[in-house]
């Protein structure tokens, strides 16, 4: 929801950063790889006991993830770049879930439910993107929903920074992600029948 409706507020800084990297001869795929490493560092920082720094790296990774897409749209998008982008986003999320489970094994069941809801929602998102004839500014049809990447980052940030609320925040994330999957499924029924 925030990705769809609030992006316009940070797009100028994303554009400036994308332009800077392009002028320096960097490619969108290179920034995608950098975003992956920065995002994975989030998990290691959390396990090492630096939750605030971990959250900073998480948001930097998300910013670079937006920058690489803008770079690609300003040059030439590639199908493999799209595959890298979506795959690396999931690796960052998986890393965070594993890190939280390692530090707080008492919430393994809620984290498992959260993982299932992410798989459910992303499966619908990817299949609709693959079979839909609709096109957007991205290289595939982008299904908006209640929980997009920014909402996930907000909830992950709360999970990382406020461990006393971890159980309930994880369950909230599970509910929001499941709702988004159902929302996307209903939209798919509407646009693909």
Domains of the chain, first to last: 2-192 (1.20.120.1760)
What pLDDT, in 10s, does the model give residues 125-163?
Answer: 888 888 876 655 455 566 667 777 889 999 999 999 999
Nearest Cα to 35, choosing from 79, 95, 115, 114? 95
For the chain, the first-to-last Cα distance in angstroms comes to 24
For residues 3 and 144, the answer to whether their CB atoms sit within 8 Å is yes
**DSSP conformation class of 134:** -
Q: What is the pTM of this model?
A: 0.88
Please state, in angstroms and rounded to a whole number, the distance separating the CA atoms of residues 177 and 183.
10
Q: Which two tokens stand for residue 146?
A: 């209640």
What pLDDT, in 10s, does the model give residues 46-74?
Answer: 999 999 999 999 999 999 999 999 999 99
């Amino acid at each position: 929801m925030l990705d769809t409706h609030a992006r316009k507020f940070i797009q100028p800084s994303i554009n400036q950063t994308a332009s800077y990297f392009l002028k320096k001869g960097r490619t969108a795929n290179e920034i995608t790889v950098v975003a992956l490493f920065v995002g994975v560092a989030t998990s290691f920082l959390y396990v090492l006991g630096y939750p605030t720094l971990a959250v900073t790296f998480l948001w930097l990774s998300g910013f670079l993830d937006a920058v690489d897409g803008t770079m690609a749209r300003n040059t030439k998008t590639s199908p493999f770049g799209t595959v890298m982008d979506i795959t690396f986003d999931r690796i960052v999320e998986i890393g965070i879930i594993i890190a939280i489970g390692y530090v707080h094994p008492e919430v393994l069941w809620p984290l498992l439910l959260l993982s299932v809801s992410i798989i459910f929602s992303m499966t619908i998102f990817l299949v609709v993107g693959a079979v839909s004839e609709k096109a957007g500014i991205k290289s595939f049809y982008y299904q908006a929903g209640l929980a997009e990447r920014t909402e996930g980052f907000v909830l992950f940030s709360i999970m990382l920074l406020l461990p006393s609320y971890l159980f309930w925040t994880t369950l909230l994330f599970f509910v929001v992600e499941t709702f988004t999957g159902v929302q996307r499924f209903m939209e798919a029924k509407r646009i693909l029948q």
